[in-house]
Structure 1
Amino acid sequence: MFRGLHFSVSGTTLLEDDPFEYALGGFDVPRNVRAVEKDGIPMVVRYGTEVSPLEAEVTVLVASHTTVPVPDIYGVFSEPSDRTAATITYIVEERISGANLRAALPTLDDTARETVAQELRTIV
């Protein structure tokens, strides 16, 4: 529960793979990413034992010091896992419309991929 809002493990899975084994840069990062809607507001909930509140802090930092488009953070909370002794952290954030890069990249030609790569270099 966060500020009177109840979230359950429902919604649309946003990762194509097994959500608990999302490969990121060659590393397995146990997490779920779900699209949910509460009171007509589309949101994304990232959660898992390897999700850190620091991810939300970095997002807020990037938003306040750059022009990089990042989602607004609505809330962060943690609770003990029912399955393990670990803690599960939840990050509730704005759902930004559009295609994600992972889905769009295979559809782009070489020129478009180079443009995206250059934009990412500039941001990073």
Structure 2
Amino acid sequence: MTNPISACDTSPVLARPAAPENLNLAILTATTAVITWNAGPGGAPVAYYRALHTGLPGGWVAASRGNETFMSIKSLSPNSRHDFYIFAVGFDEIYSLASEPINCITPEEVYSWPPDAPAEDKIS
């Protein structure tokens, strides 16, 4: 009689990283958002993080360098709503569950003009 335990699959169970927590909008301009977060407790080690922007085709907009817990997302549309989710990605490319979303509305773009031109450059 064979032992049923020895016939079990012995390949490792792949664990996913814990979902990021406590997302915070650190900086917001008309075209850029800087998001920070805390690593979730437990789970597999994190290789890097990815941001999902739900308003864009394809959605993925940025990846962190290594396991840094902040990200700068650029080329946003001014005066628009943006919804982001952050995912932790393990060294085996398994994604965590999504973080809670962070939402923002970018301000309108403000254009500034150069300071007063010298008098000789002014048109009368």
TM-score in terms of structure 1 length: 0.27
* Bigger Rg, structure 1 or 2: 2
Q: Which has the higher strand share?
A: 2
Q: What is the TM-score with the length of structure 2 in the denominator?
A: 0.27
Q: Specify which structure has the higher proportion of helix.
A: 1
